[in-house]
């Protein structure tokens, strides 16, 4: 699959501190790539380098086939950016902001007007298009920023914490828009703190910590990769011998918690089969059986703690 | 369409200029400052130097007006936009730093020209006759470009605090007014004053304005035009080069 973003040994140094330390990764065409990391990990600095806002100190970044250092204008023409801080011009109206973006991306006036109208309708701001942006709420500003980033129908969209601090309505609207855009083929590079958002939205996530990439994979693979042991929760309709549970094939330990048993297993499939056989042998029906997979939060915490210097 | 092509970047610079005019120049306080500041300076000297002819002072007023208006707002635009993060918005758009600087220059040039024509009309309404109108128009156009480039040069230090830049701007602009033959004719300046005056583009513009109104001048018109043209080129390319270097430090 074609790499829409190809970052190789990307490095940024501020004084004596290395904010981004020789990171390399690819973002594939039409995928949603989540870029996760704790505060100060280098997420925003990486995004700013990839979008040509700040220069690279070392390495290369190729965006849609254009080197961001030697062909920044050509690269920028093909992507849109939703930055961390809302940065629409507040002294002019939403419509004027969109028309300005249209001109900066070289759109013919009629096309810019059509796109502005469509996008404002899409983000629910059409009725307030002639109002100055300073009167907008945070959620409205963020939706406007998204519309501004989409004015030229970019093939790639960078978003830096797009739903941070927003109400549920604006968050859902933005996430649904991102899903729809992705379905239409737009590649999305999403920086976020929100694990649930990344888990539900992203095809792959990259985790950065201390300026270094500590993992890149699909969310489900990351979750399962961090734990070699699995946890299963099971309950029966009658008392069963606990010591026998602990001796079943695949089971490492069995601990009672209330009316349930917490099973630690080295092989999930073998253990479930053993539990089914065990219930039949003891004439005890299984009431509940849950596999407790680690969350992306668990994976994130584990990976970033392991990477601590 | 080649987005990095010259004509496309000029179109985008024009979009930046329109944005500047709408956001920064079409504001009551800015327009009032643009007109009142030079008028009050002129009145102060008119009342204090009654021996100088009105034609001399009006020429100085036109020079001051263009100089102050073309450099009034442009030094603060980058710091304003840096602190509001809108500069980051521009930096992530397919527009070169040169085009952003050029757009800011276009806006301040148009603002300077517009306000200066008001002072020319004041001069004419006070009974002065315009002897060389075309020369004056050409000089105003050229000097407006030159002074707006100076305005952008003043914005080069990468601070996002507008007051820092405005203080630096005043420190440079006011002394320049006093060495440029506005209040003291070049003929009456001491040698050291004249030596300083030749390094100020305002000197050449004031000289042309005086020629346009009175027919007298210190340097020949062609020297004035050539000097203004040279200053314009040096300042324009200088400010574009320097802004390109300091832009990342604003982000």
CATH number at residue A232: 3.30.70
Residues A80 and A216 both lie in one domain:
yes
With respect to residue A274, please indicate whether it lies within any of the assigned structural domains: yes
**Pair A193, A141 in one domain:** yes
**Contact by Cβ (8 Å): B138, B166:** no
User: Cβ–Cβ of A83/B85 closer than 8 Å?
Assistant: yes
Interface test with chain B among A54, A73, A105, by most B beta carbons within 10 Å: A73
Q: From first to last of its 309 residues, what are the pLDDT tens digits of chain A? A: 678 999 999 999 998 899 999 999 999 999 999 998 888 889 999 999 999 999 999 999 999 999 999 999 999 999 999 988 888 999 999 999 999 999 999 999 999 999 999 999 999 999 999 999 999 998 899 899 999 999 999 999 999 988 887 888 888 888 899 999 999 999 999 998 777 788 888 999 998 988 999 888 888 777 776 666 678 899 999 888 888 888 888 888 888 888 899 888 878 889 999 999 999 988 899 999 988 766 666 667 767 766 555
Chain A interface, best mutation among B82, B94, B106, B245, by max A CB count within 10 A: B94
**CATH code of A186's domain:** 3.40.50.300
Tokens of B210: 């005086």
Q: With 0-12 CB in 10 A as exposed, 13-18 as middle and 19+ as buried, what is A104?
A: buried
Is residue A290 within 8 Å of A262, Cβ to Cβ? Answer: no
List all residues of chain B from 124 to 183 with a beta carbon under 8 Å from chain A: none
Cα B93 from chain centroid?
Answer: 28
A36 and A180, same structural domain? Answer: yes
Counted domains in chain B = 1
Residues A205 and A257 in one domain: no
Residue A41 maps to a domain: yes
Least CB–CB distance from B3: residue in A55, A90, A106: A106
Are A174 and A272 members of one domain? no
Half-sphere exposure of A272 (CA within 13 A, CB side): 11
Give the domain range for residue B153.
6-250
CA–CA gap between residue A262 and residue B68 (Å, rounded): 79
Q: Rounded distance, CA B177 to CA B194, Å?
A: 13
Is B1 within a domain? no
Q: Is residue A34 part of a domain?
A: yes
Expressed as residue numbers, the domain containing A247 is 228-293
CB A20 within 8 A of CB A211: yes
A127 and A273 together in one domain: no
Task: Give contacts of A54 with chain B, Cβ < 8 Å.
Answer: 248, 251
A22 in a domain, yes or no? Answer: yes
User: Does A196 map to a domain?
Assistant: yes
How far, in Å, CA of A269 to CA of B45, rounded? 95
B133 in any annotated domain: yes
Q: Per the domain annotation, does B162 fall within a domain?
A: yes
In a domain? residue A199: yes
Residues A23 and A41 in one domain: yes
Q: Which residues of A touch B3 (CB under 8 A)?
A: 73-74, 76-77, 106
**Same domain assignment for residues A283 and A218:** no
Q: Are residues A85 and A147 in the same domain?
A: yes
This complex has an ipTM of: 0.87
- Structure tokens belonging to residue A124: 């629910």
Q: Is residue A268 helix, strand or coil?
A: helix
Q: In chain B, what is the straight-line distance between the N-terminal and C-terminal CA atoms, in Å?
A: 29
Nearest CA in chain A to B97: A73
How far apart CA B149 and CA B233 sit, in angstroms, is 9
Same domain, A237 and A252: yes
As for how many domains chain A has, the answer is 2
Is B135 a member of any domain? Answer: yes
Residues 5-24 of B with CB under 8 A from A: 8-9, 11-12, 14-16, 18-19, 22-23
Nearest to B12 among A48, A52, A104 (CB): A104
The reply to whether B14 falls in a domain is yes
Helix (H) or strand (E) holding A309, with range, is none
Same domain, A214 and A69: yes
Q: A30: closest CA among A176, A202, A175?
A: A202
Binding-face residues of A in 96-155 toward B, CB within 8 A: 96, 100-101, 103-106, 148
Do A213 and A24 form a contact (C-beta atoms < 8 A)?
Answer: yes
Residue of B nearest to A77 (CA): B94
- At B192, list the tokens: 């050291």
Are A30 and A186 in contact, with CB atoms under 8 Å apart?
yes
pTM (two decimals): 0.83
pLDDT in tens, B146-190: 999 999 999 998 888 888 888 888 888 888 888 888 878 888 888
| A57 in B contact zone (CB under 8 Å) | no
Q: Judged by CB atoms within 8 Å, which residues 256-285 of A form the interface with B?
A: none
Q: Is residue A122 part of a domain?
A: yes
Q: Cα-Cα-Cα-Cα dihedral of A113, A114, A118, A119, to 10°? A: -40
CA neighbor of A37 nearest in space, from A221, A205, A188, A159: A205
Residue A309 within a domain = no
Q: What is the 3-state secondary structure (H, E, C) of chain B?
A: CCCCCHHHHHHHHHHHHHHHHHHHHCCHHHHHHHHHHHHHHHHHHHHHCCCCCHHHHHHHHHHHHHHHHHCCCHHHHHHHHHHHCHHHHHHCCCCCHHHHHHHHHHHHHHHHHHHHHHHHHHHHHCCCCCCCHHHHHHHHHHHHHHHHHHHHHHCCCCCCCHHHHHHHHHHHHHHHHHCCCCCCCHHHCCHHHHHHHCCCHHHHHHHHHHHHHHCCCCCCHHHHHHHHHHHHHHHHHHHHHHHHHHHHHHC
User: Same domain for A38 and A159?
Assistant: yes
pLDDT for residue B91: 93
Query: Within an 8 Å CB–CB cutoff, is residue A71 touching chain B?
Result: yes
């Amino acid at each position: 699959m074609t790499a829409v973003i190809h970052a190789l040994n990307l490095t940024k140094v501020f004084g004596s501190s290395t904010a981004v330390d020789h990171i390399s990764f690819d973002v594939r065409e039409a995928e949603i790539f989540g870029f996760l990391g704790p505060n100060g990990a280098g997420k925003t600095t990486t995004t700013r380098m990839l979008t040509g806002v700040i220069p690279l100190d070392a390495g290369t970044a190729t965006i849609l086939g254009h080197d961001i250092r030697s062909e920044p204008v050509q690269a920028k023409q093909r992507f849109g950016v939703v930055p961390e801080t809302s940065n629409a011009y507040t002294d002019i109206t939403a419509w004027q902001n969109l028309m300005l973006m249209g001109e900066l991306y070289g759109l013919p006036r009629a096309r810019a007007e059509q796109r502005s109208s469509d996008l404002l309708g899409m983000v629910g701001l059409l009725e307030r298009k002639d109002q100055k942006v300073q009167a907008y709420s945070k959620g409205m500003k963020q939706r406007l920023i998204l519309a501004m980033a989409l004015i030229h129908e970019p093939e790639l969209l960078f978003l830096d914490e797009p739903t941070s601090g927003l109400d549920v309505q604006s968050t859902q609207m933005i996430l649904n828009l991102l899903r729809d855009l992705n379905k239409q083929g737009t590649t999305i590079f999403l920086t976020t703190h929100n694990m649930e958002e990344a888990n539900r939205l992203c095809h792959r996530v990259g985790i950065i910590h201390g300026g270094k990439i500590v993992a890149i994979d699909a969310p489900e693979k990351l979750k399962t990769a961090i734990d070699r042991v699995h946890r299963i929760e099971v309950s029966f309709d009658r008392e069963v011998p606990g010591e026998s549970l602990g001796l079943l094939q695949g089971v490492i330990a069995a601990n009672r918690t209330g009316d349930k048993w917490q099973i630690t297993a080295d092989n999930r499939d073998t253990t479930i089969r053993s539990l089914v056989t065990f219930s039949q042998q003891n004439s005890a029906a299984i009431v509940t059986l849950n596999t407790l997979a680690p969350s992306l939060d668990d994976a994130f915490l584990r990976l970033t703690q392991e990477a601590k210097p | 369409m080649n987005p990095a092509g010259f004509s496309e970047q000029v179109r985008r610079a024009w979009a930046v200029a329109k944005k500047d005019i709408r956001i920064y120049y079409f504001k009551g306080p800015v327009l009032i400052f643009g007109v009142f500041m030079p008028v009050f300076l002129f009145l102060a000297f008119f009342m204090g130097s009654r021996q100088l002819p009105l034609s001399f002072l009006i020429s100085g007023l036109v020079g001051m007006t263009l100089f102050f208006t073309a450099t009034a707002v442009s030094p603060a635009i980058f710091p304003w936009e840096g602190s509001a993060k809108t500069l980051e918005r521009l930096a992530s758009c397919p527009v070169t730093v040169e085009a952003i600087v050029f757009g800011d220059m276009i806006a301040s040039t148009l603002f300077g020209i517009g306000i200066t024509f008001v002072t020319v009309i004041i001069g004419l309404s006070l009974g002065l006759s315009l002897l060389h109108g075309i020369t004056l128009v050409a000089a105003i156009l050229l000097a407006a470009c030159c002074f707006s480039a100076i305005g952008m040069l003043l914005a080069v230090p990468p601070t996002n605090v507008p007051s820092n830049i405005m203080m630096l701007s005043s420190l440079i602009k006011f002394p320049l007014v006093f060495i440029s033959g506005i209040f003291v004719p070049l003929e009456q300046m001491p040698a050291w004053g004249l030596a300083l005056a030749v390094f100020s583009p305002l000197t050449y513009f004031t000289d042309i304005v005086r020629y346009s109104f009175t027919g007298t001048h210190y340097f020949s018109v062609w020297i004035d035009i050539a000097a203004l043209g040279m200053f314009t080129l040096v300042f324009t390319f200088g400010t574009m080069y320097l802004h390109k270097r300091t832009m990342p430090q604003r982000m």
